[in-house]
Homo-oligomer: A and B are copies of this chain.
Protein backbone atom coordinates (compact mmCIF):
# COMPACT_ATOMS: atom_id res chain seq x y z
CA UNK A 1 0.00 0.00 0.00
CA UNK A 2 1.38 3.42 -0.94
CA UNK A 3 2.24 5.58 2.06
CA UNK A 4 -0.39 8.17 1.20
CA UNK A 5 -3.11 5.54 1.20
CA UNK A 6 -2.51 4.87 4.86
CA UNK A 7 -4.76 6.61 7.34
CA UNK A 8 -3.08 9.16 9.53
CA UNK A 9 -1.81 7.30 12.56
CA UNK A 10 1.27 8.89 14.13
CA UNK A 11 2.79 7.16 17.15
CA UNK A 12 1.44 8.17 20.57
CA UNK A 13 4.48 10.12 21.74
CA UNK A 14 5.23 11.51 25.16
CA UNK A 15 6.77 14.84 24.18
CA UNK A 16 9.59 15.69 26.61
CA UNK A 17 11.93 17.39 24.18
CA UNK A 18 12.61 21.05 23.51
CA UNK A 19 9.15 21.47 21.97
CA UNK A 20 6.49 20.93 20.81
CA UNK A 21 4.98 19.96 24.16
CA UNK A 22 1.91 17.77 24.67
CA UNK A 23 -1.32 19.49 23.68
CA UNK A 24 -4.24 19.11 26.16
CA UNK A 25 -7.38 17.37 24.85
CA UNK A 26 -9.46 20.55 25.19
CA UNK A 27 -7.04 22.29 22.83
CA UNK A 28 -6.94 19.42 20.33
CA UNK A 29 -10.71 19.31 20.32
CA UNK A 30 -10.94 23.04 19.63
CA UNK A 31 -9.12 22.47 16.36
CA UNK A 32 -11.84 20.18 15.06
CA UNK A 33 -14.24 23.15 15.11
CA UNK A 34 -15.51 24.19 11.65
CA UNK A 35 -14.00 27.36 10.22
CA UNK A 36 -15.39 30.84 9.91
CA UNK A 37 -13.99 33.47 7.56
CA UNK A 38 -10.90 35.50 8.41
CA UNK A 39 -12.93 38.72 8.46
CA UNK A 40 -16.00 37.21 10.14
CA UNK A 41 -17.11 39.15 13.25
CA UNK A 42 -16.92 35.85 15.17
CA UNK A 43 -13.28 35.49 14.17
CA UNK A 44 -12.37 39.09 14.95
CA UNK A 45 -13.86 38.54 18.42
CA UNK A 46 -11.51 35.57 18.82
CA UNK A 47 -8.54 37.72 17.79
CA UNK A 48 -9.63 40.25 20.42
CA UNK A 49 -9.80 37.50 23.06
CA UNK A 50 -6.33 36.39 22.02
CA UNK A 51 -4.92 39.88 22.46
CA UNK A 52 -6.43 40.09 25.93
CA UNK A 53 -5.13 36.65 26.92
CA UNK A 54 -1.68 37.30 25.45
CA UNK A 55 -1.33 40.54 27.39
CA UNK A 56 -1.96 38.56 30.58
CA UNK A 57 0.70 35.98 29.87
CA UNK A 58 3.23 38.63 28.77
CA UNK A 59 2.20 40.69 31.84
CA UNK A 60 1.88 43.79 29.73
CA UNK A 61 -0.48 46.57 28.84
CA UNK A 62 1.13 46.96 25.40
CA UNK A 63 -1.55 47.84 22.88
CA UNK A 64 0.35 46.17 20.04
CA UNK A 65 0.16 42.55 21.19
CA UNK A 66 -0.83 39.79 18.79
CA UNK A 67 0.39 36.53 17.25
CA UNK A 68 2.12 36.25 13.90
CA UNK A 69 1.08 33.44 11.57
CA UNK A 70 4.20 31.33 11.73
CA UNK A 71 6.59 29.54 14.07
CA UNK A 72 8.76 31.14 16.76
CA UNK A 73 11.34 31.90 14.09
CA UNK A 74 8.71 33.97 12.26
CA UNK A 75 8.12 35.99 15.44
CA UNK A 76 11.87 36.43 15.84
CA UNK A 77 12.08 37.65 12.27
CA UNK A 78 9.03 39.89 12.77
CA UNK A 79 10.75 41.62 15.70
CA UNK A 80 13.87 42.40 13.70
CA UNK A 81 12.42 43.06 10.26
CA UNK A 82 10.18 45.76 11.73
CA UNK A 83 12.74 47.41 13.99
CA UNK A 84 15.86 47.29 11.86
CA UNK A 85 16.84 49.36 8.88
CA UNK A 86 19.86 48.56 6.72
CA UNK A 87 23.09 49.65 8.40
CA UNK A 88 21.55 49.94 11.89
CA UNK A 89 24.01 48.92 14.59
CA UNK A 90 22.81 45.87 16.53
CA UNK A 91 24.30 44.19 19.56
CA UNK A 92 23.50 40.48 19.54
CA UNK A 93 24.10 38.68 22.82
CA UNK A 94 24.93 35.12 21.82
CA UNK A 95 25.08 32.29 24.33
CA UNK A 96 23.42 29.58 22.33
CA UNK A 97 21.82 28.59 19.02
CA UNK A 98 18.91 30.99 19.16
CA UNK A 99 21.01 34.01 20.16
CA UNK A 100 23.10 33.16 17.13
CA UNK A 101 19.97 32.91 14.97
CA UNK A 102 18.94 36.44 16.02
CA UNK A 103 22.37 37.68 14.93
CA UNK A 104 22.02 35.80 11.63
CA UNK A 105 18.59 37.28 10.91
CA UNK A 106 19.91 40.78 11.67
CA UNK A 107 22.86 40.13 9.35
CA UNK A 108 20.58 38.99 6.52
CA UNK A 109 18.60 42.20 6.98
CA UNK A 110 21.71 44.28 6.39
CA UNK A 111 22.25 45.43 9.98
CA UNK A 112 25.71 46.17 11.33
CA UNK A 113 25.88 43.34 13.84
CA UNK A 114 28.27 43.23 16.80
CA UNK A 115 28.28 40.01 18.80
CA UNK A 116 28.75 39.76 22.53
CA UNK A 117 29.39 36.15 23.44
CA UNK A 118 29.75 33.97 26.48
CA UNK A 119 30.26 30.21 26.30
CA UNK A 120 27.13 28.12 25.72
CA UNK A 121 25.78 27.18 29.14
CA UNK A 122 26.57 30.52 30.79
CA UNK A 123 24.51 33.70 31.08
CA UNK A 124 25.39 37.34 30.52
CA UNK A 125 26.57 39.71 33.16
CA UNK A 126 24.71 43.02 33.05
CA UNK A 127 28.00 44.87 33.42
CA UNK A 128 29.39 43.22 30.30
CA UNK A 129 26.35 44.24 28.26
CA UNK A 130 26.55 47.75 29.70
CA UNK A 131 30.20 48.07 28.83
CA UNK A 132 29.61 46.82 25.31
CA UNK A 133 26.85 49.41 24.87
CA UNK A 134 29.20 52.11 26.09
CA UNK A 135 32.01 51.07 23.75
CA UNK A 136 29.85 50.53 20.68
CA UNK A 137 26.75 52.72 20.46
CA UNK A 138 23.91 50.58 19.18
CA UNK A 139 20.19 50.81 18.50
CA UNK A 140 18.94 47.31 19.14
CA UNK A 141 20.06 44.65 21.60
CA UNK A 142 18.93 41.07 21.08
CA UNK A 143 18.90 38.65 23.98
CA UNK A 144 17.43 35.22 24.69
CA UNK A 145 15.60 34.86 28.00
CA UNK A 146 15.45 31.06 27.93
CA UNK A 147 18.02 29.47 25.60
CA UNK A 148 16.44 26.33 24.15
CA UNK A 149 19.85 25.05 23.08
CA UNK A 150 21.46 25.20 26.55
CA UNK A 151 18.71 25.36 29.18
CA UNK A 152 20.06 28.65 30.55
CA UNK A 153 17.79 31.28 32.06
CA UNK A 154 19.18 34.77 31.59
CA UNK A 155 18.70 36.63 34.88
CA UNK A 156 18.34 40.36 35.55
CA UNK A 157 16.41 41.26 32.44
CA UNK A 158 15.17 44.40 34.15
CA UNK A 159 18.75 45.63 34.65
CA UNK A 160 19.67 44.73 31.07
CA UNK A 161 16.67 46.70 29.76
CA UNK A 162 17.64 49.69 31.92
CA UNK A 163 21.19 49.59 30.56
CA UNK A 164 19.85 49.41 26.98
CA UNK A 165 17.60 52.41 27.53
CA UNK A 166 20.37 54.41 29.24
CA UNK A 167 22.38 53.97 26.05
CA UNK A 168 19.51 54.73 23.70
CA UNK A 169 18.96 51.13 22.58
CA UNK A 170 15.85 48.96 22.49
CA UNK A 171 15.76 45.44 23.92
CA UNK A 172 14.38 42.51 21.90
CA UNK A 173 13.85 39.51 24.17
CA UNK A 174 13.31 35.94 22.95
CA UNK A 175 10.87 34.27 25.34
CA UNK A 176 10.09 31.20 23.24
CA UNK A 177 10.93 28.69 25.99
CA UNK A 178 9.87 30.86 28.94
CA UNK A 179 6.48 32.34 28.00
CA UNK A 180 3.87 30.59 30.11
CA UNK A 181 6.42 28.51 32.03
CA UNK A 182 8.30 31.08 34.08
CA UNK A 183 7.77 34.79 34.73
CA UNK A 184 7.98 37.02 31.66
CA UNK A 185 7.20 40.50 32.98
CA UNK A 186 7.30 42.67 29.90
CA UNK A 187 6.12 45.88 31.60
CA UNK A 188 7.90 45.49 34.94
CA UNK A 189 11.15 44.73 33.12
CA UNK A 190 10.51 47.39 30.45
CA UNK A 191 11.27 45.09 27.51
CA UNK A 192 10.67 46.62 24.07
CA UNK A 193 9.75 43.60 21.99
CA UNK A 194 9.17 40.15 23.45
CA UNK A 195 7.98 37.12 21.55
CA UNK A 196 7.24 33.48 22.19
CA UNK A 197 5.77 30.45 20.46
CA UNK A 198 2.55 28.52 20.86
CA UNK A 199 4.06 25.04 21.13
CA UNK A 200 6.29 25.37 24.17
CA UNK A 201 4.98 26.32 27.63
CA UNK A 202 1.58 27.38 26.25
CA UNK A 203 0.96 23.86 24.88
CA UNK A 204 -0.89 24.88 21.74
CA UNK A 205 0.14 23.41 18.38
CA UNK A 206 2.85 25.35 16.54
CA UNK A 207 1.97 27.88 13.86
CA UNK A 208 1.02 31.05 15.74
CA UNK A 209 3.63 33.00 17.67
CA UNK A 210 2.85 35.71 20.21
CA UNK A 211 4.64 39.03 20.08
CA UNK A 212 4.28 42.25 22.07
CA UNK A 213 5.66 45.68 21.21
CA UNK A 214 6.21 48.55 23.66
CA UNK A 215 5.01 52.06 22.76
CA UNK A 216 8.70 53.04 22.49
CA UNK A 217 9.38 50.27 19.93
CA UNK A 218 6.14 51.03 18.09
CA UNK A 219 7.25 54.65 17.76
CA UNK A 220 10.56 53.54 16.28
CA UNK A 221 8.74 51.34 13.76
CA UNK A 222 6.41 54.20 12.79
CA UNK A 223 9.43 56.45 12.21
CA UNK A 224 11.13 54.13 9.71
CA UNK A 225 12.64 55.76 6.64
CA UNK A 226 12.49 52.58 4.52
CA UNK A 227 9.55 50.17 4.11
CA UNK A 228 9.52 47.00 6.22
CA UNK A 229 11.09 44.51 3.77
CA UNK A 230 8.56 41.82 4.69
CA UNK A 231 4.93 42.56 3.92
CA UNK A 232 3.91 39.27 5.55
CA UNK A 233 5.46 40.19 8.91
CA UNK A 234 4.74 43.95 8.80
CA UNK A 235 3.51 44.55 12.36
CA UNK A 236 1.66 47.78 11.60
CA UNK A 237 -0.36 46.02 8.89
CA UNK A 238 -0.94 43.08 11.22
CA UNK A 239 -2.10 45.53 13.88
CA UNK A 240 -4.75 46.87 11.49
CA UNK A 241 -5.93 43.35 10.73
CA UNK A 242 -6.12 42.34 14.39
CA UNK A 243 -8.28 45.28 15.40
CA UNK A 244 -11.92 46.03 14.75
CA UNK A 245 -12.86 46.85 12.01
CA UNK A 246 -10.24 44.56 10.50
CA UNK A 247 -8.29 45.61 7.41
CA UNK A 248 -7.43 42.54 5.33
CA UNK A 249 -3.76 41.59 5.47
CA UNK A 250 -3.52 37.81 5.22
CA UNK A 251 -5.70 34.81 6.02
CA UNK A 252 -4.91 33.87 9.60
CA UNK A 253 -5.49 30.26 10.61
CA UNK A 254 -8.82 29.88 12.36
CA UNK A 255 -7.92 26.38 13.54
CA UNK A 256 -4.71 27.57 15.19
CA UNK A 257 -6.43 30.61 16.66
CA UNK A 258 -9.13 28.37 18.16
CA UNK A 259 -6.39 26.22 19.67
CA UNK A 260 -4.30 29.08 21.02
CA UNK A 261 -7.35 30.69 22.58
CA UNK A 262 -8.21 27.45 24.36
CA UNK A 263 -4.60 26.94 25.48
CA UNK A 264 -4.42 30.49 26.86
CA UNK A 265 -7.74 30.03 28.65
CA UNK A 266 -6.20 27.00 30.37
CA UNK A 267 -3.20 29.14 31.38
CA UNK A 268 -5.60 31.73 32.72
CA UNK A 269 -7.66 29.16 34.63
CA UNK A 270 -4.58 27.67 36.25
CA UNK A 271 -3.16 31.10 37.09
CA UNK A 272 0.34 32.24 36.18
CA UNK A 273 1.80 31.86 39.67
CA UNK A 274 0.46 28.32 40.10
CA UNK A 275 1.69 27.43 36.64
CA UNK A 276 5.20 28.69 37.32
CA UNK A 277 5.30 26.78 40.60
CA UNK A 278 4.17 23.59 38.87
CA UNK A 279 6.98 23.95 36.35
CA UNK A 280 9.49 24.45 39.21
CA UNK A 281 8.16 21.50 41.19
CA UNK A 282 8.26 19.03 38.32
CA UNK A 283 11.69 20.24 37.21
CA UNK A 284 13.06 19.67 40.73
CA UNK A 285 11.71 16.12 40.63
CA UNK A 286 13.45 15.61 37.29
CA UNK A 287 16.72 17.08 38.56
CA UNK A 288 16.79 14.74 41.57
CA UNK A 289 16.08 11.82 39.28
CA UNK A 290 18.73 12.54 36.66
CA UNK A 291 21.36 13.21 39.35
CA UNK A 292 20.65 9.72 40.68
CA UNK A 293 21.12 8.34 37.16
CA UNK A 294 24.49 10.09 36.82
CA UNK A 295 23.16 12.48 34.21
CA UNK A 296 23.75 15.72 36.12
CA UNK A 297 22.14 18.94 34.90
CA UNK A 298 24.70 20.98 32.99
CA UNK A 299 23.51 24.40 34.11
CA UNK A 300 24.15 25.58 37.71
CA UNK A 301 20.98 25.88 39.77
CA UNK A 302 20.59 29.69 39.79
CA UNK A 303 20.65 29.82 35.97
CA UNK A 304 18.76 26.59 35.32
CA UNK A 305 15.47 26.75 33.42
CA UNK A 306 12.53 24.88 34.95
CA UNK A 307 11.14 24.33 31.46
CA UNK A 308 14.13 22.77 29.73
CA UNK A 309 16.93 20.83 31.39
CA UNK A 310 20.19 19.94 29.69
CA UNK A 311 21.76 16.88 31.27
CA UNK A 312 25.44 16.11 30.78
CA UNK A 313 26.15 12.77 29.13
CA UNK A 314 29.02 10.58 30.33
CA UNK A 315 31.64 10.37 27.61
CA UNK A 316 31.21 7.43 25.26
CA UNK A 317 27.46 7.20 25.75
CA UNK A 318 25.59 6.23 22.57
CA UNK A 319 23.58 9.47 22.37
CA UNK A 320 21.61 8.87 19.17
CA UNK A 321 21.14 5.16 19.75
CA UNK A 322 19.71 5.63 23.21
CA UNK A 323 17.36 8.40 22.11
CA UNK A 324 16.21 6.16 19.31
CA UNK A 325 15.46 3.42 21.85
CA UNK A 326 13.51 5.85 24.04
CA UNK A 327 11.42 6.75 21.01
CA UNK A 328 10.94 3.25 19.61
CA UNK A 329 10.54 1.25 22.80
CA UNK A 330 8.77 3.79 25.00
CA UNK A 331 7.42 6.44 22.62
CA UNK A 332 9.29 9.13 24.56
CA UNK A 333 10.82 12.08 22.77
CA UNK A 334 13.68 14.01 24.34
CA UNK A 335 16.05 16.30 22.46
CA UNK A 336 19.67 15.77 21.55
CA UNK A 337 22.33 18.43 21.95
CA UNK A 338 22.45 21.17 19.40
CA UNK A 339 25.40 22.89 17.70
CA UNK A 340 28.36 22.98 20.12
CA UNK A 341 26.56 20.67 22.52
CA UNK A 342 25.76 17.90 20.01
CA UNK A 343 26.56 14.53 21.55
CA UNK A 344 27.37 16.12 24.91
CA UNK A 345 23.93 16.72 26.42
CA UNK A 346 20.32 15.72 26.20
CA UNK A 347 17.60 18.31 26.38
CA UNK A 348 14.58 17.37 28.46
CA UNK A 349 11.59 19.64 28.26
CA UNK A 350 8.87 19.84 30.88
CA UNK A 351 6.73 22.51 29.34
CA UNK A 352 3.07 23.32 29.72
CA UNK A 353 0.93 20.18 29.63
CA UNK A 354 4.08 18.03 29.45
CA UNK A 355 5.13 19.27 32.91
CA UNK A 356 3.47 16.58 35.03
CA UNK A 357 4.94 14.33 37.73
CA UNK A 358 3.80 11.15 36.00
CA UNK A 359 5.74 12.13 32.89
CA UNK A 360 8.89 12.60 34.96
CA UNK A 361 8.42 9.13 36.47
CA UNK A 362 7.91 7.55 33.06
CA UNK A 363 11.02 9.15 31.65
CA UNK A 364 13.18 8.26 34.67
CA UNK A 365 11.93 4.69 34.56
CA UNK A 366 12.74 4.36 30.88
CA UNK A 367 16.17 5.94 31.29
CA UNK A 368 16.94 3.62 34.18
CA UNK A 369 16.12 0.68 31.97
CA UNK A 370 18.10 1.68 28.89
CA UNK A 371 21.17 3.39 30.36
CA UNK A 372 24.23 1.15 30.53
CA UNK A 373 24.91 -0.04 34.07
CA UNK A 374 27.84 1.72 35.75
Contact = CB atoms under 8 A, between A and B. Distances in A.
Interface residues of A, number: 80
A340 interface: no
Contacts of A36: 10-11, 13, 15, 333
Interface string A6-29: 001011110101011011000011
Interface in A325-364: 327, 333, 338
Contacts of A207: 69, 207, 253, 255-256
B251 A71 contact: yes
Contact of A35 (B30, B37, B205, B338): B205
B4 A49 contact: yes
A265 interface: yes
B32 A255 contact: no
Query: How many copies make up the complex?
Result: 2
Contacts of A45: 3
B69 A40 contact: no
Given A3-B52, A70-B232, A101-B231, 19 more contacts: A5-B265, A8-B46, A8-B258, A8-B262, A10-B42, A11-B40, A13-B40, A15-B37, A22-B34, A32-B32, A69-B74, A71-B232, A72-B251, A73-B231, A74-B250, A77-B230, A104-B231, A108-B227, A256-B256
25 contacts: A3-B49, A4-B49, A4-B53, A8-B262, A10-B36, A10-B40, A13-B40, A15-B35, A19-B251, A20-B38, A20-B254, A22-B35, A36-B333, A38-B206, A40-B333, A69-B74, A71-B232, A71-B253, A77-B232, A105-B231, A108-B231, A205-B253, A205-B255, A205-B256, A255-B256
